[in-house]
């Protein structure tokens, strides 16, 4: 509505003409008072009428030219103002970096399309949230993050139909508004294509950046007929996808809302919990085979939750990874564990689990070394456990990080060996110090001779590569001798001890010392009832441990 936006220029012109007439009148009054006109009349009398007409005509032409010029100038100024307004309007509705619609435009378009339909329109919102985006910003810098967002925008644009709207809602969150007329199958197909496309690596500078995406889908229904309700439903479905392991998609359904609230609450509690030191290290013994001499502990995270009691890592490690808190959690644990271990016999080692995400941090070795220096813990006593997922994500980053950790004297163990994929490839490509054979292989040794052959082959493979091996999850004494006979170097499992807190560990270290000053878990006079000591919060007045029968 231009009339309302700009003052009417006809009105302005009239005002200007009136002003000019007033000025003319004033000039006339002054002129007659001073007798200027008489002088002028005398001068014009010497010219004839034709001359006077020509003079009048020229003056009129001058006036017309001035008026036309002015009107052009005014028109141009108005056009510039309109253009600037349109540009400002567009900026306010688009994301400057990717050029996609922003949340405001997306919401407005969604609301307009919902309102325009008489019944429930066949519309769907797909919310796309990037996985592992934060580490890219943290590790490679914001320029890399920006480049990734632009590539994501391009890939999304290419995947959707012309009548769909793609938006960047903010941060690493994108959304697509699309027709749902073809039903859930076609929406699922689109979501699958998005997940697949965004999992393709992005080349930036000399790095290969790996992200992923989780998609939440909400279809308009009678209950979610407003833009906000539909956006919220897609958000809830997306979070469910994250909880279920990321790199996937989920359709919204009503009981998802409750789960999301619980997760959001836990996320906030975890942040506070890490700050307050509620996440504490528990220590599970690792012994040499076959004599069961204690060589150190694996550090396993436990959360002393103020309401829920003691929580295991399943309840919070993935949450910490998803919400960018895993690094803080690990450093807090490492600091506590290195401090605890200062009072233990100096030959005892600590093995600490590092999340796959952390291997992408270029400064990981320096950060670890800083904690070791701060706590006075020797690098030679530390072992870092990584899983194969870390290697699949970015082999080159892993190679660099592992090499510099080893240069500091820190050992690297490949955890849960046999559960990931391309294990042999990784063993050849990277230099590990230790293989930890996954519990699933060890527990099945007594059940299947094929499994036993497989474990035997893994141990042989390890020793052919010059690696030591640890069998994880040893629960029964029957497999200990067999594992030792096959050449397995170390053992870990409930048979030797469950993860326990610092106080319990301190007490057991005293009890485990044999006459020669060695720490041996199965002393010769072991009680016949066997079994593991209680996990974690052993009450101070409870028996400290049960000795393990050979
Ligand atoms: P993991 O590193 O393979 O740790 C061994 C897991 O097996 C531990 O479970 C341990 O309690 C359990 N385990 C050991 N021996 C036995 C046994 O004889 N029988 C049975 N049934 N289980 C046994 P936990 O503590 O629940 O930890 C699970 C996983 O959580 C760990 O597997 C590790 O991947 C992860 N995790 C634990 N703490 C941390 C941490 O501080 N940081 C990271 N990034 N991950 C952690
Ligand atoms: Mg481990
Ligand atoms: Mg393991």
Of 216, 328, 301, 316, the C-alpha closest to 267 is 316
Task: Give me the pLDDT at residue 318, please.
Answer: 87
Of 531, 533, 535, 528, the C-alpha closest to 543 is 533
Task: Give me the pLDDT at residue 80, please.
Answer: 86
Nearest ligand for residue 299 CA: 1
Per-residue pLDDT of the chain (550 residues; tens, 9 = 90+): 333 444 455 677 788 778 888 888 888 888 788 887 777 777 767 767 777 788 788 888 888 888 898 899 989 988 888 887 777 777 788 999 999 999 999 999 999 999 998 888 999 999 999 998 988 887 788 899 999 999 999 999 999 999 999 999 999 999 999 999 888 999 999 999 999 999 999 998 888 898 999 999 999 988 788 898 899 899 999 988 988 888 999 999 888 877 777 888 999 999 999 999 999 999 999 999 998 999 999 999 999 999 999 999 999 998 898 788 999 999 999 999 999 999 899 999 999 999 988 988 889 999 999 999 999 999 999 999 998 776 766 677 888 899 999 999 999 999 988 876 556 777 877 889 999 999 989 988 877 888 889 899 999 999 999 999 999 999 988 889 899 999 999 999 999 999 999 999 999 998 887 767 677 776 444 433 333 343 433 333 332 332 322 2
Environment of ion ligand 3 (residues, CB < 5 A): 415-416, 472
**Distance in Å, CA 365 to ligand 1 centroid:** 23
**Distance in Å, CA 414 to ligand 2 centroid:** 9
Task: Say if CB 295 and CB 349 are below 8 A apart.
Answer: yes
Which residue ranges have their beta carbon within 6 Å of ligand 1?
284, 300-301, 312-313, 317, 330, 333, 353-355, 385, 415-416, 439, 472-475, 492-494, 499
User: Atom 44, ligand 1: which residue's CA is nearest?
Assistant: 355
Helix, strand, coil percentages for the chain (3-state, nearest 5) = 55, 20, 30
**Distance in Å, CA 469 to ligand 3 centroid:** 12
**Distance in Å, CA 441 to ligand 1 centroid:** 15
User: Atom 19, ligand 1: which residue's CA is nearest?
Assistant: 473
User: Atom 7, ligand 1: which residue's CA is nearest?
Assistant: 473
Nearest ligand for residue 351 CA: 2
DSSP conformation class of 200: S
**Distance in Å, CA 106 to ligand 1 centroid:** 44
User: Atom 42, ligand 1: which residue's CA is nearest?
Assistant: 353
User: Atom 37, ligand 1: which residue's CA is nearest?
Assistant: 300
**Distance in Å, CA 168 to ligand 2 centroid:** 38
**Distance in Å, CA 543 to ligand 1 centroid:** 24
* Residue partners of 204: CB distance under 8 A and separation at least 6: 140, 144, 147, 148
**Maximum distance among all Cα pairs of the chain, rounded to whole angstroms:** 144
Q: Which residues pair with 298 in a beta bridge?
A: 284, 351
Task: Give me the pLDDT at residue 7, please.
Answer: 45
User: Atom 45, ligand 1: which residue's CA is nearest?
Assistant: 353
DSSP conformation class of 512: T
From the CA of 436, give the closest atom in ligand 1.
Answer: 3
- Specify the pTM: 0.64
| Cα 485 to Cα 63: distance, rounded to the nearest angstrom | 112
**What is the β-pairing status of strands 249-251 and 279-288?**
unpaired
Grouping H, G, I as helix, E, B as strand and the rest as coil, residue 186 is: helix
Nearest ligand for residue 436 CA: 3
H or E segment to which residue 116 belongs = helix 103-116
Task: Say if CB 413 and CB 432 are below 8 A apart.
Answer: yes
Q: How many residues does the chain have?
A: 550
Residue to mutate (ligand 1; options 313, 320, 336, 354; most atoms within 8 A of CB): 313
| Cα 239 to Cα 214: distance, rounded to the nearest angstrom | 8
* Residue partners of 365: CB distance under 8 A and separation at least 6: 401, 404, 405, 408
Domains of the chain: 9-93 (no CATH), 103-254 (3.30.70.270), 281-533 (3.20.20.450)
From the CA of 532, give the closest atom in ligand 1.
Answer: 18
- In degrees and rounded to multiples of 5, residue 472 shows phi and psi of -90, 150
Residue to mutate (ligand 1; options 135, 273, 300; most atoms within 8 A of CB): 300
């Amino acid at each position: 509505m231009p009339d309302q936006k700009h003052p009417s220029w006809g009105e302005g012109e009239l005002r200007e003409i009136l002003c000019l007439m007033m000025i003319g009148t004033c000039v006339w009054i002054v002129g007659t008072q001073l007798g200027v006109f008489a002088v002028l009349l005398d001068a014009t009398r010497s010219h004839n009428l034709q001359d006077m007409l020509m003079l009048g005509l020229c003056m009129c032409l001058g006036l017309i030219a001035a008026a036309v010029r002015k009107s052009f100038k005014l028109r141009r100024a108005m056009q510039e103002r309109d253009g600037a307004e349109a540009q400002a309007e567009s900026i306010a509705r688009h994301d400057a970096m990717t050029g996609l619609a922003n949340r405001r435009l997306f919401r407005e378009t969604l609301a307009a399309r919902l309102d325009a339909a008489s019944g429930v329109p066949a519309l769907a919102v797909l919310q796309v949230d990037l996985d592992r985006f934060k580490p890219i910003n943290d590790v490679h810098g914001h320029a890399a993050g920006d480049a990734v967002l632009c590539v994501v925008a391009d890939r999304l644009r290419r995947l959707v139909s012309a009548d769909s709207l793609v938006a960047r809602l903010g941060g690493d969150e994108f959304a697509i508004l699309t027709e749902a007329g073809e039903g859930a199958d076609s929406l699922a197909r689109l979501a699958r294509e998005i997940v697949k496309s965004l999992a393709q690596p992005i080349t930036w500078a000399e790095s290969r950046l790996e992200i992923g995406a989780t998609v939440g889908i909400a279809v308009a229904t009678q209950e979610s007929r407003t833009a906000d309700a539909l956006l919220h439903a897609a958000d809830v479905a997306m979070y469910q996808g994250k909880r279920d392991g990321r790199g996937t998609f989920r359709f919204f359904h009503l009981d998802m809302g409750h789960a999301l609230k619980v997760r959001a609450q836990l996320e906030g509690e975890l942040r506070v919990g890490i700050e307050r030191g509620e996440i504490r290290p528990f220590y599970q013994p690792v012994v040499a085979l076959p004599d069961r001499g204690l060589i150190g502990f694996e550090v396993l995270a436990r959360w002393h939750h103020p309401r829920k009691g003691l929580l295991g890592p399943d309840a919070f490690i993935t949450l910490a990874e998803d919400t960018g808190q895993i690094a803080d959690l690990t450093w807090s644990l490492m600091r506590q564990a290195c401090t605890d271990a200062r009072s233990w016999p100096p030959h005892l080692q600590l093995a600490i689990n590092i999340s796959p995400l952390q291997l992408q941090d270029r400064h990981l070795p320096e950060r670890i070394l800083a904690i070791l220096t701060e706590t006075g813990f020797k690098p030679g006593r530390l072992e870092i456990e990584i899983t194969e997922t870390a290697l699949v994500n970015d082999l080159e980053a892993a190679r660099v990080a592992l090499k510099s950790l080893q240069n500091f004297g820190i050992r690297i163990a490949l955890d849960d060996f046999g559960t990931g994929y391309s294990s042999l490839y990784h063993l050849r490509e990277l230099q590990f110090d230790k293989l930890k054979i996954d519990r699933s292989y060890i527990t099945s040794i007594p059940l299947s001779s094929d499994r036993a052959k497989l474990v035997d082959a893994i141990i042989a493979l390890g020793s052919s590569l010059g690696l030591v091996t640890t069998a994880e999850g040893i629960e029964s004494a029957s497999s200990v001798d067999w594992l030792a006979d096959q050449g397995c170097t170390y053992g870990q499992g409930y048979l030797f001890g469950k993860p326990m807190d610092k106080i319990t560990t301190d007490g057991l270290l005293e009890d485990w010392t044999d006459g020669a000053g060695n720490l041996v878990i199965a002393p010769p006079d072991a009680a016949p009832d066997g079994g593991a000591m209680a996990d974690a919060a052993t009450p101070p007045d409870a028996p400290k441990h049960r000795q393990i029968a050979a």
